[in-house]
Structure 1
């Protein structure tokens, strides 16, 4: 399948929040993200906090209609979720208990390899997974060889036809904006909107 959109990596995840202050506290103090400067050209009305750690960004945006964000109480590991790998599952579980965060445990077994998972919600019901998934090797299907991580991301994006899941938005970095737009036009069924951000003489499209 190749890499039709010339993607390189995951850049950030944007989350519409019922209360951006509660979400900011959660992602900073519970998950360890730190705030970064918001570009001045993002001058729209509404609170936006940009956080970063572990090689990815989290953008927290105050929802214009917070009552429309579904309230989720049951923890379902099959829901859409963000997954983080950790150094020690035992330490993560200990910390979750200390913070009184409700969670669900799961274990995946494959060829004598165990992958442990902990699932819980952020303040807006977004599912978070903590795992040691790097225990499990990535083995491509023979019919769809994967040459590099960017190709693996590309396959996922093409299969889902869009990168919007619920109130989460996944953003990928790319090699060439012109090539991305050209290939989006060629892929049937994908609509897109162009937006640019300017900061200190630097343009981000």
Structure 2
């Protein structure tokens, strides 16, 4: 079957869920406000610049989860979903997902943001398949480390190839929608790459390659 693959942040969402989670933690006073906001903003800028040290960032992003039981973390996450994530949902994105559903395509999100943040978002958007950075769990608690390869840049290609092998699927006829030049390795791999509200670098590459450039912003 044909895959329709979507980046999440600034593609399906009108914003970045990873950065928004950091802002939520700051505003809820669950972390040191000044230090966390400064680091969160710097890591986001590094991402935009294509200079992100992904493992260093993931350890920063996962550190607030360490030592808390799932009941408490679930309450934090539901408050985040209500105040930050759901307001970033877009009607045009929902319409695009429905377009691919009607064509019988397999829907997938592939994102560098961790599964703790993105799992409920994918579920609410009705997308069954999610490839996200996997936080490590030990005895029901997050360790602050990453399990396996983060799904970032070439890591997205690696993780997707593993998924294809496990599910006996191929990339024949596949679509991939993204806003970021960090996703160029995967965009170059699919038959139908689409730039969505792209950053300047991706927009330039898309124009050069004749890829569609669209907007999902309401």
Larger Rg: 1
Q: Give the TM-score normalised by the residue count of structure 1.
A: 0.29
More strand by share: 1
Return the structure number with greater relative CO, CA threshold 8 A, min gap 6: 1
Q: Which has the higher helix share?
A: 2
